[in-house]
A and B are shown apart, each in its own frame.
Chain A
Amino acid sequence: MLEVRDITCVFGGLVALDRVSFTAQRGEITGVIGPNGAGKTTLFNIVSGIYQRTAGSIVFGDLDVSGLPPERLARHGLVRTFQNIELFGQMTVLENVMVGLHTKSTSGLLACALRLPWQRREEKKIRSRARELLDYVGIPDLADQSAASLPFGQGRLLEIARALALEPQLLSMDEPAAGLNSRETWQLGELIRRIRQDGVTVLLVEHDMELVMDVCDRIIVLNLGQKLAEGTPRQIQENRAVIAAYLGEG
């Protein structure tokens, strides 16, 4: 589904990523882990079109998506969430999800200004679909609250609902468990599994080992900008090189 081929990224003289390749299989949850500074976030930002790669390519389905800007990727079904949830704080929870439905609607500037009949029908559809999505992640009662007032855990759920609004084929999550307590992390794991069951491929960059080992089908380990290992959670747990990288080679 998502094939990352020999991605290299150089910032000035620093090689952040050195010929990293991996494949995220359709319908699976793929995790990317690694110690701090391993290049996880850089890799993630390249896959989601925020950073530009120096070399290598990214193929999504049969489509070469290397170097496409995030708004184009979104229309191809590649959506991401952020480590420090990037909610639209001036808007309500419901409106945040409605922005997620932007690509699912087509009324232009003029149609909107004139409130043409089809624009009003579309608006109604957007509103009810957004409510369904809040239902799906379990925060339907918060619809009319200001997004800025949400506690972090619920903000995370809102961000996921907003991303799901695009009906992505691949949902990439950057450290979704960051800032969550253990109960919230467990709920998040359940939600991620449910999202996968509904046919969305998930790419997960995560620090929380428990979550990663629990939900991922396949794990890629990065260290110092290179791929150190790849395998099932069990294989990774037993991999000597991975243990050495995490604990330091003594």
Chain B
Amino acid sequence: MFKTWKSVAFAASAMLGLAALAGPAQAAWPERPVTVIVPWAAGGGTDATARMIAKLLQDELKQPFNVVNRTGGGGVVGHSAIAQAPADGYTIGVITIEIGTYRWLGQSDLKTSDYTPIALYNFDPGALFVAANSPVKNAKEALEALRADPKKFKLASGSSIGGAWHMAFGSLMLKAGLKPDQYTWIPSQGAAPALQELVAGGTDFAPASLPEAKSLLDAGKLRSLMVFDTKRTPGYDAPTSMEAVGQAVKAGAWRGVAGPKGMPKEAVETLTRALEKAHKSAEFRDFMTSRGFGLEWAAGAEFVKFMEQSEADCGTVLKAIGLAKN
């Protein structure tokens, strides 16, 4: 027994010594494991994509990329944790569209400039759904009905208050000249419970992404009226908002990789290169398509611009919905 411990101790110190020797030689980032913070729960869409990306980065950069879920507060906790992590390149995270809403909702002071945005990798357009037995036949009728009597309908936010789908539906309304703040919005913890409410007859309209509704669409419990995108989503017969109501809208949820403000330039460059390679890989593309996630790419300054635009758009929509507190 004693002997075993001794040899373990010897092996450990030998390894430590080796690591110390090897340290200065391979100074290139990453020289130790990297933590990837995910602000949403394990098993959700963001988590699934993050774990896939972590795996591909690990294969490429030969260091473990450990996914850590920091959940709660509608993503505030995790997004704060990314922004407040030491900016040494060893803590990065996946950020989502909600980052642009916290400031307006008075939930946190987080903003784009608190991060080093690396790359955007996904965009999922929202879509509008009704229950199969709804009297509304198409998107045009839906908007007319909503315009005629704003008090008559209950609208699902499809997410938490001020979440991605809530804002996607809100921005379509703004384009179509409806006033989002005139309606009663029913919040939910996400798309699945919102769609269930819709089927159960608790609400009249619900926004969510098409893949999230696939099973219920197949079951004939739901109908999709339109997708808030400039192009149709393959595999679904939902018309684009342009085709359905003559309004070009691109609204939905996005996901990207970012680190805290002031990450070392070298780490940013290496990471961007590895991410771009992962994004182009067949493994990633197959995974994203099979799960119904849309592929999108924007890196560096382009991603910063995208985030700033998203943050401004969130403000416009949230003000129109009547949720913005500042």
- Do A and B come together as binding partners? no
Interface positions of A (Cβ within 8 A of B)? none
